[in-house]
Copies of this chain bind each other. A is one copy, B any other.
Amino acid sequence: MTIKAYVYDAYGTLFDVYSVSVKAESEFNGFGKKISELWRKKQVEYFMIHQLTGNYKPFSEVTRNALLYTLKNLSLQINEDALNSLMQSYLELEVYEEVHATLENLQNQNKKQIIFSNGTYEMLNPLIEKRELNHLLNVLSVDDVKQYKPAPAAYKHALETLGVEPHEVLFMSSNFWDITGASSFGFKTAWINRAGHEIDELGIKPDYIYKDLKGLLE
């Protein structure tokens, strides 16, 4: 079976969403880690609920709303400057250390590689430029169709854009809900299990499980 396209999730997979904890710590002393964790948790919860209830809102808005909830929940003083500063940190997330070398290696093998993310282009483009990945990856956002992963309609958009068959796509994500959706849609999947989690009991087995992207070169 030949893989014709390598498709990467962005947040958590290429970029460390918890790296916002540094700026969060400088804005809210002693709360950096807590903010980064609750922010991500609510961000995922919120876009899932929007998708489930049929009320799509762009990821930038979801991300800002999740941050707003997080600060309220932690009883922190909310001001526009701190909100903007933390939102800005989402455009400057740290990239995991093995990403560049792995993507370059695959590019040298003439593999087609794209990011396919729930983020908007306004969030993704500055980020991949900042992290110098723009020569390695094209960017595709669910915002084109306003259907969030893990809904089948989202993966369908990626498939149609790529113009290949489902089994010719290898989809990489660190988020198991994303692997579940992609695998159930018919993509080949590699779960990048950075955190060493147990596999979720969702009736789905990824085709591959790696602890980071270097596994793709095996």
Chain A residues proximal to chain B, CB less than 8 Å: 42, 45-46, 48-55, 57, 65-66, 68-69, 72-73, 148, 150-152, 177, 180-181, 184-185, 197-198, 200-203
Contacts and interface: CB of A to CB of B under 8 A. Distances in A.
Contact of A52 (B46, B72, B181, B198): B181
B49 A177 contact: yes
Contact of A53 (B66, B68, B152): B152
A82 to B, nearest CB: 16
A184 B96 CA distance: 39
A150 B53 contact: yes
A151 B53 contact: yes
Contact of A46 (B148, B181, B184, B200): B200
B150 A198 contact: no
A50 B152 CA distance: 11
B202 A50 contact: yes
B202 A52 contact: no
Interface centre among A66, A177, A198, A201 (most CB of B within 10 A): A201
A52 B49 contact: no
A64 to B, nearest CB: 8
Contacts of A65: 201-203
A202 B203 CA distance: 30
Contact of A203 (B57, B181, B197): B57
Contacts of A42: 200-201
A72 B197 CA distance: 10
A116 to B, nearest CB: 16
Contacts of A180: 49, 53
A189 to B, nearest CB: 13
Nearest 4 A/B pairs, CB to CB: A65-B201, A69-B201, A72-B198, A53-B184
Given A72-B198, A202-B65, A52 B50 contact: no
Given A45-B177, A53-B185, A65-B201, 7 more contacts: A46-B201, A48-B49, A52-B52, A52-B150, A52-B151, A53-B184, A66-B201
A168 B152 CA distance: 34
A61 to B, nearest CB: 9
